[in-house]
Chains A and B, each alone.
Chain A
Amino acid sequence: MNQKSDWNNISITVIKPRSGWQIIDFKELNEYRDMFFSMVTRQIKTLYAQTILGFSWAIFKPLIQIVVFTFIFGKVAKVSTEGIPYFLFSSVAIIPWTYMSQAMSESSESLVSGQGMLGKIYFPRLVFPLTPVFSRLVDFGFSILIILGILFYYRVLPTWNLLFFPLFLIMMMIIPAGIGLWLSTLAIRFRDVKHAMPFVLQMLIYSAPIVYSASSIPEKYRLLYSLNPIVGVIEGYRACLLGTPIPWIYIGPGIITAVILMISGAFYFRRMERIIVDVI
């Protein structure tokens, strides 16, 4: 709807019906970066407003989950972890998973919960689903402290594998971004997303090697299994933090899926962007 061009330094906006696929207007996104930044700040500042524990929640929630999982899967069910202490094994997985699940669910609800604002002012709608992807990083940063503590307790020394940390960090952000773009757009038409999300996230935790080890998957299903990008992130974090060899075979396919998810999500979002306000 808006083709912008500069003509004698005067911006010209043409408003007309849009149809079909749209590419992302990066120039416009750049113009709105201050707004994006303040939306992310707003999320971060208000997340634990008026709580006693504040950002300690970012540590307590995954910590309690780690303890419970260690008890159930490590002590009671005795899940094989290739010799890694279960506490260590699950903590490096649960923390990125906590980030991804929270960012995913917030991102998919972002358009519906922000509908008041959508109807009142124009801004690149992409801001909404992408905000939680960045704001939840603060939580993630705090919960990394748990990992550091546990690594220290088990005397795990950093290896060169740690250099790959940024790669898995980016991959970890791309997943909720891609899924968020898809689901937030679907959610404006079908509120089913809101009801399905908690349930799907509960199931999704078992689709990746979070409570169990990836090596327990039969080899013939390995490719199919590793197409799930969450598998790659978890395996990647485990390897780069614990110093075990990096299992690219589990990670490679996931990277491709994650990128496809992100790009297709962005296109779908742009295509549907024009009807958001009318349908929501």
Chain B
Amino acid sequence: MKWKFYSQYSEMTDKNIAIKVENLSKCYRIGLKDEMHDSIVKSLFSFIRSPIKNYRKHRSLYKFEDTEINSDSPDIIWALRDVSFNIKEGEIVGIIGINGAGKSTLLKILARITDPTHGQAVIRGKISSLLEVGTGFHPELTGRENVYLNGTILGMRKKELDRKFDEIVDFSGIEKFIDTPVKRYSSGMKVRLAFAVAAHLEPEILLIDEVLAVGDAEFQKKCLNKMEDVSRHGRTILFVSHNMPAVTRLCPRTILLKGGAVIADGPSHQIVSVYMNSERATKAERTWPNVAEAPGDEVVRLNAVRVRTEEGQVTEAVDIRKPIGIEMEYEVLQSGHMFMIYFHVINEDGLKVFTSMDNDHTWRKRPRPAGGYVSTTWIPGNLMSEGIFFVSFGIRTLNPHIPRLRAADAVAFQVIDSLDGDSARADFAGNLTGIVRPLLKWETQFNPKSVNTNVIGSREDTNSL
């Protein structure tokens, strides 16, 4: 991506840019540890002096005159450092990074909750932020009262809420309890109501933090779908999340933050790959250059394992439609053993999706000579579902049956299902669940006469499958 720096005024003419962030930095003072005293007299003296010390300490917390961008004072933390990017109107951008990377700080600055220390951001359009659902909810108030309270806090007008009220209640699915105090609600009901209000915000720019982490899975889906609806209406969305499948599905573009700085910005599947490479302990490739440390024993050692594409490229992010190659490199140190080689694929929830055993006829039930081996297994495209998968490897010798090595969660990869329409999700944009996602053949026959006239009624909820 290429863009020039504009002056502060000419950017106003930059018509299709919704958010322009320029060299944004934010620092916090964390306060230094109190000194310890080793004598009663010293601590007594310090107790007398403490009001003055406390005053200085509290005061210093918001004094940043001395903070230059490169200053490395021990009590200063740069939550954001020189962050710049542009977001076009209608763009949906994910922001990812590990905890402490500055995601939330960035969102808080753009939401105007806190001021930046340096730099600026220019936002064109009505902006709403959703860092939490149900802000301001009071347990003693009824659902109805809380809808109005929360709605106005989110920046809606009372008139707007009057108009949308029925729709909000409908979306929440708790019509019966709308005049009950919220403290009598289950936590799930509270979240549903809160989300229903948030889902009816109509800003031009929406900032969303990981608010989807609450609530039951069914309702989360409904909300994600509603969000996708919103995004199709040409709104600009900034979405901070740890939920990689959600980010890759919702956001064509992702910004990766690390240590308060932007380290990658581009198409989501590439960035997710960078993220998994840089931040996760498990990558798509793992090698053990030092034989002594490699899993195994005197019979067999693992040299390397990797996830690769048909083109031979090692990759963390794989297209759901493409085959995934799982490759093992191992060294047989003692000749004459028969091997059983296998791996498990485990999904994010820890569920074992399948196990695959080496079934290559050339080597089955045959003692192998010492030497290096490379086994590759191909998981066909359009089989795995979306998400992150971990692969554990194992090798055993037969007759007698002895486990020789195990490498748990040695590599990981992420399956990405983009909305191109030719994968199993077809035109469905929501959260498609299921352990596998095979692309099956559908045949539909048409008969102008109704097959069964008794079939009436419709599904209530078309948003979650």
Contacts and interface: CB of A to CB of B under 8 A. Distances in A.
Interface of A: 1-2, 7, 10-18, 32, 34-35, 37-39, 41-42, 45-46, 49-50, 117-123, 189-190, 274-275, 277-279
Given A15-B120, A42-B141, A123-B153, A277 B126 contact: no
Contacts, number: 122
A277 B12 contact: no
B8 to A, nearest CB: 8
Contacts of B154: 121
B304 interface: no
Nearest to A43: B138
Contact of A122 (B28, B113, B119, B138): B113
Contact of B127 (A13, A17, A119): A13
B109 to A, nearest CB: 6
A93 B113 CA distance: 41
A39 B135 CA distance: 12
B58 A17 contact: no
Contact of A190 (B58, B132, B148, B152): B58
Given A13-B122, A50-B140, A117 B115 contact: no
A61 B225 CA distance: 52
Nearest to B22: A16
Contacts of A16: 115-116, 119-121
Contacts of A17: 115-118
B114 interface: yes
A50 B108 CA distance: 36
Given A1-B115, A38-B153, A122-B112, A15 B121 contact: yes
Contacts of B111: 121-122
B125 to A, nearest CB: 6
B123 interface: yes
Contacts of A117: 135-136, 153
B118 A1 contact: no
B119 A35 contact: no
Given A17-B116, A35-B155, A120 B132 contact: yes
Interface string B145-181: 1001100111111100000000000000000000001
Contact of A34 (B127, B145, B158): B158
B113 A120 contact: yes
Contact of B61 (A13, A119, A279): A279
A41 B111 CA distance: 26
16 contacts: A12-B123, A13-B127, A14-B123, A15-B115, A17-B116, A32-B152, A42-B136, A46-B140, A119-B108, A119-B113, A121-B129, A123-B155, A189-B59, A189-B61, A274-B115, A277-B108
Contacts of B124: 10-12
A41 to B, nearest CB: 8
Given A35-B155, A50-B140, A119-B131, 14 more contacts: A11-B126, A13-B123, A15-B109, A15-B110, A15-B120, A17-B117, A35-B153, A42-B136, A117-B135, A117-B136, A117-B153, A121-B131, A121-B153, A278-B61
Interface residues of B, number: 46
Nearest to B55: A190
Closest 10 CB pairs of A and B: A16-B120, A49-B140, A275-B62, A35-B152, A122-B112, A15-B121, A13-B123, A34-B158, A46-B140, A274-B115
B106 to A, nearest CB: 11
Nearest to B65: A19
Contacts of B116: 1, 15-17
A46 B145 CA distance: 11
A1 B112 contact: yes
Contacts of A279: 58, 61-62
Contacts of A46: 138, 140-141
Contact of A42 (B61, B62, B114, B138): B138
Contact of A278 (B12, B28, B138, B141): B28
Nearest to B159: A34
Contacts of A34: 152, 156-158
B113 A10 contact: no
A124 to B, nearest CB: 10
Contacts of B114: 274, 277-278
Contacts of B28: 278
A13 B153 contact: no
Contacts of A7: 12
A275 to B, nearest CB: 4
A10 B11 CA distance: 14
Nearest to B133: A120
Interface in B58-113: 58-59, 61-62, 108-113
A11 B125 contact: yes
A274 B120 CA distance: 15
Contacts of A278: 28, 61-62, 114
Nearest to A127: B153
Contact of B148 (A12, A38, A118): A38
Contacts of B109: 15
A211 B183 CA distance: 42
Given A45-B140, A121-B154, A10 B61 contact: no
A268 B123 CA distance: 27
Contacts of B108: 119, 277
Contact of A277 (B113, B152, B181): B113
Nearest to B117: A17
Nearest to A122: B112
A119 B122 CA distance: 21
Contacts of B121: 14-16
Nearest to B8: A14
B120 A13 contact: no
B12 A12 contact: yes
Contacts of B181: 49
